[in-house]
Amino acid sequence: MADFVRLEVTDGIGTIRLERPPVNALNTQVQEELRAAAQAASADESVRAVVVHGVGRHFAAGADITEFTSVTYPEMVARAGALSSAFDSVARIPKPVVAAITGYALGGGCELALACDWRVIADDARLGQPEIKLGIIPGAGGTQRLARLIGPAKAKDLIFTGRMIDSDEALRIGLADRVVPADEVYDTAVELVRPFTTGPALALRAAKQAIDGGLSVDLAAGLALESHLFAGLFATDDRREGTTAFVEKRKPGFTGK
């Protein structure tokens, strides 16, 4: 049984809950429990979409800095890859994933949110990458995912200054997708992904793989990846059901097979 991160499944939606009071600081144990929860959500066929949610007032206020005060360079060389790959486990969940953000999503908390497909945030939330103020840089995907999401100039502004931004700015620059009152954040995130619980799971998986995979290669390679994934879907039951339902002018009944 994990101490701080758990996966709960209800009606096809898996909720990965972080609960390490008071601010859900992301220490090494949380990191590894997050990896395990993401892998479980990926493997569980009953999970068709995922919500990442911080229990309490805050999504995650960043890394547990007490772990950084005495760590040496050789020690961090050994640990840095595991930190990044734990967050990458969330990014690689082959299903739609949304972060439900209240309070602070700072440092590693912001990087965790960036590993999701969408971000629903509270109107009083604060997001940012303040690592520069500690004499370091984001080390779990922040420099890469933030620049890809909002563009390099805006990412450099946030990372170079380490400043926090409010919900209005997050929405304006594309870091947030929806802004709602804090007590509506989780329910809004659930409703955002609910339609995917009855969708064509393999096609959704392929679409996510094509988009995310294409961002890291040139256009020709991305188009080749898309063609490969597109053709592969013609072996699925859902493709047969979807095209037949269209011809028969009825709603398809996808099974995820």
> Which secondary-structure segment (H or E) carries 213?
helix 201-214
- Would you state the pLDDT for residue 79? 83
Answer whether residue 64 shows pLDDT above 80: no
Nearest C-alpha neighbor of 233 from the set 251, 241, 48: 241
Residues 13-38: what's their mean pLDDT? Answer: 95
Question: Is residue 131 flagged as an active site residue?
Answer: yes
Q: Which residue has the higher pLDDT, 84 or 12?
A: 12
Contact of 112 with 128, CB cutoff 8 Å: no
Q: What is the mean pLDDT of the chain?
A: 95
Instruction: Tell me the per-residue pLDDT of 150-170, one tens digit each, with 9 for 90 and over.
Output: 999 999 999 999 999 999 999
- Would you state the pLDDT for residue 63? 77
Nearest C-alpha neighbor of 37 from the set 25, 50, 24: 50
- Would you state the pLDDT for residue 177? 98
Candidate list 32, 131, 241, 248, residue with the active-site label: 131
Range name among 1-5, 99-103, 127-131, 232-236 with the lowest pLDDT average: 1-5
Predicted confidence band of residue 15 (pLDDT cuts 50, 70, 90): very high
Instruction: Tell me the per-residue pLDDT of 107-139, one tens digit each, with 9 for 90 and over.
Output: 999 999 999 999 999 999 999 999 999 999 999
Answer whether residue 89 shows pLDDT above 80: yes
Predicted confidence band of residue 68 (pLDDT cuts 50, 70, 90): confident
How many degrees, rounded to 5, is the angle at CA 51 between CA 50 and CA 56? 155
Answer whether residue 243 shows pLDDT above 80: yes
Answer whether residue 142 shows pLDDT above 90: yes
Q: Match 């870091």 to its residue by tokens.
A: 175
Domains of the chain: 5-197 (3.90.226.10), 199-247 (1.10.12.10)
Answer whether residue 26 shows pLDDT above 80: yes
Candidate list 75, 111, 226, 241, residue with the active-site label: 111
- Would you state the pLDDT for residue 206? 97
Map residue 144 onto helix, strand or coil.
Answer: helix
The secondary structure of 220-253 as a DSSP string is: HHHHHHHHHHHHHGGGSHHHHHHHHHHHTTS---
